[in-house]
Structure 1
Amino acid sequence: MIKQGGFTLIELMIVIMIVVILGSFVGPLAFESLTRVQSKAEIKKVERLFLNASQQAFLKNQKVSIDMDNKKFSFWLANNVQNKTQVSFDFISFPKQRIIFNTRGLTTKKTVIVNQNNRAIYVELLELITGNNQYISNARATNE
């Protein structure tokens, strides 16, 4: 009798089970990584909005107000409240805050709190506006 090479059904089922078990460990890590990247992209968008508001205040010689509450970010020129620009976010949120940029593009508020995955991130506005690259204070990030 000639013996044929190959795998038995039980051997194939064991290999499939091992692959499924390993996949169950990797799947959540990949999803968490994707969420983290998307929330970092939204933080970068918020930073660009702050810079834009500062530049608009300076260039138009008008105050710019910013309201942040939960997942909404709104900004407008001081004399044109009807023309409010509003942006919504999916992966980050804000405690209720108001920031006003003066006609020189500066603000008295030094930091802004952005919540990312149940973690408070402090964005340093003065460093952001002046162009210093250390405007996110990771040392001050706290778990809440």
Structure 2
Amino acid sequence: MLWLKALHIIAMVAWFAGLFYLPRLFVYHVDCADEAGRRRFELMERRLYHAIMTPAAWVTVLAGLGLLVGYAWELYGRAGWLHAKLTLVVALVVYHWLCGRYRVALRDGRNRRSARFFRFFNEVPTLILIAAVCLSVVKPF
């Protein structure tokens, strides 16, 4: 189980690295004035989303489910912190999906969001990370 937990944490770190960086690329992409620069951002965003973030998200979720089945399942009914953390994971999956939608909108020239929006959007995974780590370590309820 410890190897599965290590895999879960490694994948989670990779996923969050992408979740922190992709919206920052959106900020630069929106502010970019030249076509060559926009193409470069589209390539970086696509590679980050498909080659790093999405596989890391899958491994994080699947390893987390493995941990849940492996030894946390007996806690599931009486561990409020775990319910809260799983809710945050769902929120993170939705955030990931939104990143994909924004990436496609930028690529297709349909983006209606400002760089300022993406700066605020970029803070969401930080808040989720803080809450998830606190719930997992402190187990307040």
Normalised TM-score (structure 2): 0.38
Structure with higher helix content: 2
Which is bigger in relative contact order (C-alpha 8 A, separation at least 6)? Answer: 2
Q: What TM-score, normalized to structure 1?
A: 0.37
